[in-house]
């Protein structure tokens, strides 16, 4: 019998997973072995007769579970990036088992006694700063997992964790099912208004589904441009209503019944730990700190955004009426008429702009920006075995040599999770032996030849690459502190600040080249694009902030098990004065940030919190007179390399010289 490739030594270049050898049936035995090994390593720590020290307890915990981390890293990435029935079934099977294992370690009384003993004497241990922070964070992790509770409460905490893992997995799979299941077939007579790039994407989407003609799917890279350009209002309505109905179809894939249970379990866990609600629990370990701080931030932008959106609505209606539109403006009309307003007010036409933004050039722009800021180079590795033909691999190097591996997975696929994200197959660490990171960026661009990006698509590519740099530039000892392992409302700062370099006139002039002629985008067009940055920001801010307010309302509800999610959504939107013509960016039944996992639960505000940091932070470069100012770039690199070794506000103040201000955010969104 051949050895399990997940457990055998990886003799691959750079230690990349041997994707060509790995099959779904390798995962269950690999997980079983890795979990047993991890428990044995934990038992060895707790059985150590020597008194607890940082080395024999905290550092030993960091060395434990390496096989499990390796197997889980491959599995979790393949589930969302590759997908398919076999991996989906395994995800359903493994998620509660992995949650059970995690809680078994987190609630181990002997392990907690050692950690608690060390934490009690932390001021006398003469620890290095990263060690002291690691001890604090490990101890806090035990407390927040319930390790200090009584036996009955710990048993309940473990059960909650397992059930939530199952529900999170089911929620995400239900959304994916609805996205895979729906498409809007189109014939030549249905294409009025659609530019050639969108026709090409729809033609490719139909071909991938074995259809003739054209198809619009629920991939954002197809649905949003369709809502922007289609002159067929009836088809826009069909597409929009399908988009917002994901997760809300009666039957086996209905997420509406899952949400109250998820919320109730989270609230119960918070109460067991002494918090009045889940939002209070979550925010206690964040930069924001309290519900009140988050509410203050969101309300600071909500009213100005609503006022700006009202002015935008009036302008849209003026254009629509001039074209003979006499109906009530609906959510499926906003993008369509906004594009007409943009063309009229800024002389911008997306169908004429998009040919300048090719995927290869935008990826190269992201690479070259990192080269200028941080001294990195990106060398293609065309012969590495990868998990899908779409994926491209690069070795990342600096002046000292190898830094890590970067994988780019740009295209939408039926079994791939929607959206855009960064993840890692391996995190950087250096506990005696340096381990380099393997980082992946996923996007969901519509496949076409050539692949043309919208201005927002290109900005998103830069955003995710900012996350990638956070992982690649990590320079820490311990894996728990590596890369993006920081507080949720700080993790978006590196990604969002990186977007600013995409919008530099010099970036656009160099990389926005017409895919047919090779001519750079005209300077006058760049000027109009940059002048239009505040265009439709009322809509965008309302769309985002309303979702953040829904998130907070859901996680502060006193009896979430009683929630009827559709009634709740209507009531919250009425209470905040949500404009009827603007839809939520994420309705609860497909809000994967909140319910396909717990990462952004009671934390969707984090994008806005990080925008305060990134808008204020980029001003440091402008004040230096150079967007690539070397001393400022060096200070930014310190943030990216520090991981969670330093409190994030301390990191930011060291970079900026002071605490952040919301003034740059409000100015950037033209809300003042």
Residue by residue, DSSP assigns 573-632 as: HHHHT--TTS--SS-GGG-HHHHSSSTTTTTTTHHHHHHHHHHHHHHHHHHHT-TT-HHH
Q: What is the pLDDT of residue 448?
A: 87
The helices-and-strands tally (H runs, E runs) of the chain is: 27, 9
Inside any domain, residue 157: no
Inside any domain, residue 195: yes
Q: Are residues 265 and 235 in the same domain?
A: no
Cα of 33 vs its chain's centroid, Å: 31
Are 628 and 373 within 8 A, CB to CB? Answer: yes
Q: Are residues 591 and 472 in the same domain?
A: no
Q: Are residues 482 and 581 in the same domain?
A: no
Cβ-in-10-Å burial (0-12, 13-18, 19+) of 545 comes to buried
What does DSSP say about strands 401-411 and 438-445: parallel, antiparallel, or unpaired? Answer: parallel
- Single out the residue in 472, 502, 525 at which a domain terminates: 525
- Single out the residue in 468, 503, 525 at which a domain terminates: 525
Q: What is the pLDDT of residue 1?
A: 60
Give the structural domain span for 565. Answer: 256-346+536-672
Inside any domain, residue 3: no
Model pTM? 0.95
Q: Are residues 513 and 585 in the same domain?
A: no
Q: What is the pLDDT of residue 668?
A: 81
Annotated catalytic residue within 59, 339, 429, 464? 464
Q: Are residues 372 and 480 in the same domain?
A: yes
Q: Are residues 575 and 487 in the same domain?
A: no
Helix (H) or strand (E) holding 435: strand 434-435
Cβ-in-10-Å burial (0-12, 13-18, 19+) of 238 comes to middle
Angle (CA) 380 382 386, round 5°: 115
Q: For the chain, which ranges sit under pLDDT 50?
A: none
Peptide bond into 410 cis (omega under 30): no
User: What's phi and psi for 646, nearest 5 deg?
Assistant: -135, 145
What does DSSP say about strands 429-430 and 434-435: parallel, antiparallel, or unpaired? Answer: antiparallel
Are 281 and 269 within 8 A, CB to CB? Answer: yes
Strand, helix or coil for residue 389? coil
Q: Are residues 426 and 470 in the same domain?
A: yes
Inside any domain, residue 4: no
User: Catalytic annotation on 464?
Assistant: yes
Which CATH number characterizes residue 503's domain?
1.10.1370.40
Q: What is the pLDDT of residue 19?
A: 97
605 CB-near residues (< 8 Å, 6+ apart):
288, 294, 297, 298, 489, 548, 551, 552
Q: Are residues 299 and 376 in the same domain?
A: no
For residue 635, list its beta bridge partners: none
Q: What is the pLDDT of residue 361?
A: 98
Inside any domain, residue 225: yes
Are 357 and 457 within 8 A, CB to CB? Answer: yes
Q: Are residues 140 and 278 in the same domain?
A: no
Which CATH number characterizes residue 17's domain?
1.20.1050.40
Q: What is the pLDDT of residue 667?
A: 84
Q: How far is CA 573 from CA 349, 553, 566, 580, 619, in A?
A: 33, 11, 11, 9, 34
Inside any domain, residue 41: yes
| Contacts within 8 Å (CB) and 24+ apart, 231-238 | 231/192, 231/193, 231/336, 232/190, 232/192, 232/193, 233/332, 233/333, 233/336, 235/184, 235/186, 235/190, 236/332, 236/333, 236/336, 237/330, 237/332, 238/184
Inside any domain, residue 166: no
Inside any domain, residue 74: yes
**Domains: count for the chain:** 4
Q: How far is CA 632 from CA 417, 490, 619, in A?
A: 37, 19, 10
Helix (H) or strand (E) holding 659: none
Q: Are residues 473 and 365 in the same domain?
A: yes
- Single out the residue in 466, 494, 525 at which a domain terminates: 525
Q: Are residues 81 and 224 in the same domain?
A: no
Q: Are residues 360 and 497 in the same domain?
A: yes
């Amino acid at each position: 019998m051949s050895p399990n490739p997940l457990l055998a030594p990886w003799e691959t270049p750079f230690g990349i997973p041997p994707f060509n050898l790995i099959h779904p049936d390798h995962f269950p035995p690999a997980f079983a072995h890795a979990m047993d090994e991890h428990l044995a390593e934990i038992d060895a720590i707790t059985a150590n007769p020597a008194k607890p020290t940082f080395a024999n307890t905290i550092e030993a915990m960091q060395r434990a579970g390496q096989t499990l981390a390796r197997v889980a890293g491959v599995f979790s990435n393949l589930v969302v990036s590759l997908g398919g029935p076999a991996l989906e079934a395994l995800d359903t099977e493994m998620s509660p088992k992995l949650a059970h294992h995690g809680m078994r370690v987190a609630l181990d009384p002997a392990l907690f006694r050692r950690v608690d003993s060390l934490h009690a004497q932390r001021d006398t241990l003469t620890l290095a700063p990263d060690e002291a922070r690691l001890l604090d964070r490990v101890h806090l992790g035990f407390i927040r997992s319930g390790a200090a509770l009584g036996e009955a409460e710990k048993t309940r905490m473990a059960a909650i964790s397992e059930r939530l893992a199952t529900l999170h997995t089911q929620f995400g799979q239900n959304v994916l099912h609805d996205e895979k299941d729906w498409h809007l077939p189109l014939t030549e007579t249905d294409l009025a208004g659609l530019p050639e790039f969108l026709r090409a994407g729809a033609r490719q989407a139909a071909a991938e589904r074995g259809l003739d003609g054209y198809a619009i799917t629920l991939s954002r890279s197809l649905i949003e441009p369709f809502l922007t350009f289609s002159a067929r209002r009836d088809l826009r309505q069909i597409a929009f209503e399908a988009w917002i109905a994901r997760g809300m179809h009666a039957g086996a894939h209905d997420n509406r019944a899952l949400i109250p249970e998820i919320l109730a379990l989270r609230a119960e866990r918070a109460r067991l730990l002494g918090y009045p609600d889940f939002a209070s629990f979550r925010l206690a370990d964040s930069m924001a700190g309290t519900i009140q701080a988050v509410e203050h931030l969101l309300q600071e932008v909500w009213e100005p955004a609503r006022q700006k959106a009202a002015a935008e609505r009036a302008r849209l209606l003026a254009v629509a009426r001039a074209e003979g539109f006499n109906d009530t403006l609906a959510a499926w009309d906003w993008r369509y008429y906004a594009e007409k307003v943009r063309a009229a007010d800024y002389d911008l036409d997306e169908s004429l702009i998009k040919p300048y933004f090719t995927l290869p050039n935008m990826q190269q722009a992201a690479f070259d920006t990192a080269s200028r800021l941080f001294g990195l180079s990106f060398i293609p590795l065309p012969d590495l075995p990868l998990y899908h033909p779409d994926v491209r691999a690069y070795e990342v190097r600096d002046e000292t040599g190898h830094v890590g591996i970067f994988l780019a997975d740009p295209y939408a696929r039926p079994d791939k999770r929607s959206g855009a994200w960064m993840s890692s197959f391996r995190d950087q660490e250096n506990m005696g032996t340096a381990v380099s990171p393997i980082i992946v960026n996923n996007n969901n661009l519509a496949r076409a030849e050539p692949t043309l990006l919208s201005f927002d698509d290109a900005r998103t590519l830069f955003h995710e690459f900012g996350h990638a740099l956070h992982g690649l530039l990590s320079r820490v000892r311990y894996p728990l502190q590596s890369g993006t392992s920081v507080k949720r409302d700080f993790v978006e700062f590196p990604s969002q600040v990186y977007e600013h370099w995409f919008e530099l006139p010099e970036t656009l002039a160099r990389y926005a080249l017409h895919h047919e002629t090779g001519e750079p985008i005209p300077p006058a067009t760049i000027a109009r694009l940059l002048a239009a940055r505040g265009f439709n920001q009322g809509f965008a801010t309302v769309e985002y902030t309303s979702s953040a307010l829904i998130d907070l309302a859901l996680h502060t509800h006193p009896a979430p098990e009683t929630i009827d999610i559709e009634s709740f959504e209507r009531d919250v939107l009425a209470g905040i004065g949500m404009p009827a013509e603007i839809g939520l960016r994420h309705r609860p039944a497909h809000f994967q940030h909140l319910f396909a996992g717990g990462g952004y639960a009671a934390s969707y505000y984090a994008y806005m919190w990080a925008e305060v940091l990134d808008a204020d932070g980029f001003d440091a470069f402008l004040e230096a007179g150079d967007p690539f100012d070397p001393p400022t770039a060096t200070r930014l690199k310190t943030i990216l390399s520090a991981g969670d070794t330093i409190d994030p506000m301390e990191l930011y103040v060291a970079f900026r010289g002071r605490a952040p201000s919301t003034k740059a955010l409000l100015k950037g969104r033209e809300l003042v």
